[in-house]
Amino acid sequence: MKGMTISRKLLLIFLVNIVVIGCIAGIVFYSFQGLTGTIAYSSKTLGDYRADLDVLRVQQSQLEGLTRPFYLNVTSLSVEQAKEHIDRSLDALVENILVLQSTRYESVNKLGTHRSQVIAETYGLSQSSLPDSNSSLTGELEAMEKRIQESIRPIINEIADTAILLSERENRLAEVRPLLVDAYAELKSVRKRLMFLYQKKAGLVTGMPEYNDFVNTFMGGEQGHDQEATLDGNLFYQLEKTIGELADLLVDTSGEPGQQTQAGARKMFLVAASNIGLASFDRKIDELQSIGDRSEEITDKLSKYVQAVDNAQVSTAFTLLEEAIAQVLTITEGQIVASRDSQRLSTQFSDANNSLGKSVQELSRTIEAERQRVSDGILADGQNFLTILIAIALVGALISLIVGFFVKQSITRPVNSLVEVAQDIAQGEGDLTKRLSTSETGELGELSSWFNSFLTRLSGLIIEIKDFANNIEHASKEIASGNKDLSERTYRQSAALQETASSMEQMNSIIQNSAEDARKAYERTQETQDSVAANRQKLLDVVTETIQTNKEMLNSAQETNGRVVKGMADISDNSEKMAGIITLMNDIAFQTNLLALNASIEAARAGEHGKGFAVVATEVRKLASRSSKASTEIGGLIETNLASVTAGQDLVKDGEQSLEQRRLKVENMLGSLQESSNMNLTHIQQAFGELAELMENVKTASEEQAKGVSEVNQALADMERLTQDNATLVEENSAASSSMATDTANLARLLAAFHVDRHDTDGSDAGASSATATALVGDEVNVDEEELRFYSQPLIEEHTKFEYLPAKPVDNGSNESATDTEKEEPFR
């Protein structure tokens, strides 16, 4: 690994990581390749099968609700519609079963072996409580389809036919029951005739026991059944009791026994077949047979009396009663039998539907158990995959760490050697003769070679810098001598400029005072002019505001008058509408009077029965007369109001014209006042404007004089400032020369710390240069500073401290090459 470059070493680490990642990815792909099919089977196939099975369960649960039209408010149309709905629902069930039997779910439908054991383990049920489910799901679906086609559909057809039959018989019974009640009422109405004729024909004497027995047979019991024990021989009472029992057989009444009235017997409703059992229907048939026997016994007894009197009216009434009783008994028996059949079919349908629901529920349990089994398998495979993945990741990480450690050692070892050499040069004795080993190849070997070249180049530069330091030392001495002569000449020029500047300052002060007085006079004139303009504007605003206020007051009065006129117009319109309504009320009163008259005529025709209606008609006619009179009075009042409103409108219009004339007079008067005020104030403002213009000219002339003197004074100040700057620059140059000498000595001392390959007299030269620089700083620089303080005392403040900073570049705006002195300037 020592002969490899850094890029190849990094490439080696990258390849090792790729190999580790590739191994992990291969294992992941291999593991997921097996899990993909299982997940697809669990999520897609079983999920879709479960969804279709849920649809099947919902449709099956709705079947029982669809049979309600067979029992509630039954008509032929409702039965046919319900049958069509159930047929469509059954077709949808069969269609969903066929979907579940399709090849799409072939893998699911093959489930079946030991299904009972799987369901029991999944749901925690007892296997003995579950049916034998070792057949495939396909067999279960076929059995469900067969149950629908061969069991449920025929039962639905029979239920529909029975419901129609029940509806027809119920309608027929509803037609016959009133006939029975009417026939009994008709027979009861001829009871006295029957008794009179039989008494006459049999020769019964009033008060005799035979007559009393005869009367007890026909009369009594009208007040209720409270004397039931004493009315066993009363034929009409027993007949009415039998009819009531027949009604109670099929009617749910709300009264106590014995309180069934003739009106209540007419309100019969069929008892729902779903509320009673089959045994109850048998009891109803027995009760109906008993009622029929009693009614036959009663009619036989009555027939003897009817035949004895031989009266057509009595015979007809009795015959109608017999026929009505026979029809009611026959139809009622058929109704009970049909209700029993409906109950039986309903029970069969419920059993078949519940069996179908249990089959669907068992299929759901099977699918859920299979889904749970597949999910457990997926979780187990995922856990194994995670364990393997963690192990491979740990092994790959260990390999990467080992390879990385060796590569790191091969890279950092040469770098550490380079750091040791650089640290020795930086913190040691500055020995530039040391060199790095170039035994390494690659980037580190090149780095060592170039670092050795850098040390060689640096050693040569330090030798050249020592030579330049000696030259700078001699130049700084010559600069210090020239600065001394320049300082003397600058002091004399500065003294002359100060005298000239003092004279110009006095002249400038006089001119400035004159200009200030002119400016103040101009400002006072300007303020007076502004005040006049402001007062003029305020006066104009007051006049304008007064005009506007008067206009608003007059406009408000006009608007008020307009609203009053409009209100009166609305009152007039409403009064006219009320007049129309009064006319309508008069017409209504007239028509009511006519109707009352016609009603009186019709009441007179009705005779005795129309007396009450005649009284009402008379009262209505009186009310119509009063309404007509009141409407006439209201009409008169409305006409009076209309006249008053018209007069008020005329007065308001006259007032509005008067207000308009006053408004015009006020506007003319205020307009004249505004025009005259504006003219006078304008003349005053123009006079002040001319005065302000004259003062402005005086102020301008004074300012021009002051400006000229200021320019002269500024020129002298600039010359004085330049002289001061020159003196300061001389002082700075002197100080810079001293600092340069000191820096040169320090530079020579620092360069002497480096060990280079050249062996000559540099050490002695450096010592001499250092001594010379020290002498210059100790003697000559101090003398120059004292002389500068003496010659330029007015220009330089006492005890001023200067800070000299390194040179900064000067931007000369050209791309040409320049020397070091042209590119840099000292700054403070």
pLDDT at 291 over 50: yes
Which pLDDT value is given to residue 771? Answer: 40
Q: For the packed helices 153-189 and 191-202, what is the interaxial angle rounded to 10 degrees?
A: 50
List beta partners, residue 384: none
Q: What is the dihedral of CA 50, 55, 60, 64, to 10 degrees?
A: 140
- Closest to 649 (Cα-Cα) out of 558, 556, 562, 555: 562
Question: Which of 6-10, 76-80, 180-184, 649-653 is modeled with the greatest confidence?
Answer: 180-184
Find tokens 């020159």 and name the residue: 726
In Å, what is the CA distance from 330 to each residue of 169, 287, 563? 10, 13, 88
Q: Is the dihedral of CA 410, 415, 416, 421 positive or negative?
A: positive
pLDDT at 819 over 50: no
Q: Give the list of residues 6+ apart from residue 439 with CB closer than 8 angstroms, or none.
A: 445
Find tokens 């006009």 and name the residue: 558
Mean pLDDT within 407-424: 72
Which pLDDT value is given to residue 310? Answer: 86
Which pLDDT value is given to residue 267? Answer: 32
Amino acid at 476: S
pLDDT band at 336 (very low <50, low <70, confident <90, very high): confident
The encoded tokens of residue 389 equal 């993945």
More confident residue, 258 or 178: 178
pLDDT band at 777 (very low <50, low <70, confident <90, very high): very low
Mean per-residue pLDDT of the chain: 71
pLDDT band at 682 (very low <50, low <70, confident <90, very high): confident
The answer to whether 335 and 169 have CB atoms below 8 angstroms apart is: yes
pLDDT at 523 over 60: yes
Helix, strand, coil abundance in the chain, percent, nearest 5: 85, 0, 15
The answer to whether 83 and 156 have CB atoms below 8 angstroms apart is: yes
pLDDT at 487 over 80: no
Of the residues 721, 749, 777, the one at which a domain ends: 749
Rounded Cα distance, 140 and 31, in Å: 36
pLDDT at 411 over 60: yes
Of the residues 719, 749, 779, the one at which a domain ends: 749
Rounded Cα distance, 12 and 403, in Å: 8
Which pLDDT value is given to residue 220? Answer: 63
Q: Give the list of residues 6+ apart from residue 140 with CB closer than 8 angstroms, or none.
A: 112, 133, 359, 362, 363
Q: Give the list of residues 6+ apart from residue 704 with CB closer than 8 angstroms, or none.
A: none
pLDDT band at 34 (very low <50, low <70, confident <90, very high): low
pLDDT at 12 over 60: yes
DSSP letters, 651-680, are: HHHHHHHHHHHHHHHHHHHHHHHHHHHHHH
Rounded Cα distance, 65 and 350, in Å: 11
Neighbours of 206 (CB within 10 A): 8
The answer to whether 346 and 273 have CB atoms below 8 angstroms apart is: yes
Q: Is the dihedral of CA 616, 621, 624, 626 positive or negative?
A: negative
**CA angle 315-317-319, nearest 5°?**
65
The encoded tokens of residue 225 equal 């059944």
| Residue 178 counted as domain residue | yes
Q: Give the list of residues 6+ apart from residue 164 with CB closer than 8 angstroms, or none.
A: 74, 76, 79
Which pLDDT value is given to residue 436? Answer: 65
Rounded Cα distance, 770 and 752, in Å: 11
Lowest mean pLDDT among 221-235, 501-515, 535-549: 221-235
Rounded Cα distance, 244 and 343, in Å: 26
| Residue 739 counted as domain residue | yes
- pLDDT of 161-202, one tens digit each? 888 888 888 888 888 888 888 888 888 888 888 888 888 888
pLDDT at 108 over 80: no
The encoded tokens of residue 487 equal 């300082």
Domain limits for position 271: 167-222+231-338
Which pLDDT value is given to residue 5? Answer: 66
- Closest to 570 (Cα-Cα) out of 642, 636, 634, 635: 642
Mean pLDDT within 626-650: 78
pLDDT at 494 over 50: yes
Per DSSP, the three-state class of 824 is: strand
Question: Which helix (DSSP H) or strand (DSSP E) does residue 335 occupy?
Answer: helix 312-427
Rounded Cα distance, 755 and 817, in Å: 35
pLDDT band at 112 (very low <50, low <70, confident <90, very high): low
- Reported as half-sphere exposure (CB side, CA atoms, 13 A), residue 106 has a value of 2
Percent of the chain with pLDDT over 70: 73
Find tokens 């409305």 and name the residue: 638
The encoded tokens of residue 748 equal 């020579």
Question: Which helix (DSSP H) or strand (DSSP E) does residue 295 occupy?
Answer: helix 278-309
Question: Which helix (DSSP H) or strand (DSSP E) does residue 184 occupy?
Answer: helix 153-189
What is the number of structural domains in the chain?
A: 2
Mean pLDDT within 138-145: 82
pLDDT at 797 over 50: no
Lowest mean pLDDT among 75-84, 112-121, 434-443: 112-121
Distance in Å from the first CA to the final CA of the chain: 59
628 by Cβ neighbours in 10 Å (0-12 / 13-18 / 19+) ranks as middle
Rounded Cα distance, 45 and 108, in Å: 8
Spell 491-519 as b/e; 16+ CB within 10 A means b.
beebeebeeebeebeeebeebeebbeebb
Rounded Cα distance, 750 and 430, in Å: 10
Per DSSP, the three-state class of 197 is: helix
pLDDT at 606 over 70: yes
In terms of phi and psi (left: phi > 0; alpha: psi -120 to 50; beta: otherwise), the region of 124 is left
CATH of the domain at 603: 1.20.1270
* Phi, psi dihedral angles at 825 (to 5 degrees): -140, 145
Question: Which helix (DSSP H) or strand (DSSP E) does residue 809 occupy?
Answer: strand 808-809
If asked whether residues 332 and 461 sit together in one domain, one would say no
Per DSSP, the three-state class of 57 is: helix
Amino acid at 825: E
* Phi, psi dihedral angles at 785 (to 5 degrees): -65, -40
Which pLDDT value is given to residue 720? Answer: 73
Amino acid at 678: N
Lowest mean pLDDT among 51-60, 527-536, 622-631: 527-536
Neighbours of 753 (CB within 10 A): 9
| Residue 150 counted as domain residue | no
pLDDT band at 148 (very low <50, low <70, confident <90, very high): confident
| Residue 436 counted as domain residue | no
Amino acid at 99: V
Which pLDDT value is given to residue 252? Answer: 38
The encoded tokens of residue 179 equal 């006939």
Which pLDDT value is given to residue 119? Answer: 41
| Residue 302 counted as domain residue | yes
Amino acid at 558: Q
Q: What is the dihedral of CA 386, 387, 393, 397, to 10 degrees?
A: 140
Per DSSP, the three-state class of 755 is: strand
DSSP state of 431: B
| Residue 63 counted as domain residue | no
The answer to whether 443 and 450 have CB atoms below 8 angstroms apart is: no
If asked whether residues 591 and 729 sit together in one domain, one would say yes
Distance, C-alpha 169 to centroid of its chain:
61
CA-based R_g, the chain, Å = 68
| Residue 9 counted as domain residue | no
Of the residues 289, 313, 338, the one at which a domain ends: 338
Task: Output the furthest CA–CA distance in the chain (Å, rounded).
Answer: 191
The answer to whether 286 and 201 have CB atoms below 8 angstroms apart is: no
List beta partners, residue 755: 431
- Closest to 483 (Cα-Cα) out of 70, 781, 183, 41: 781
* Phi, psi dihedral angles at 74 (to 5 degrees): -75, 130
Rounded Cα distance, 253 and 257, in Å: 9
Question: Which of 70-74, 320-324, 749-753, 755-759 is modeled with the greatest confidence?
Answer: 320-324
The encoded tokens of residue 164 equal 């129609």
Which pLDDT value is given to residue 298? Answer: 86
| Residue 6 counted as domain residue | no
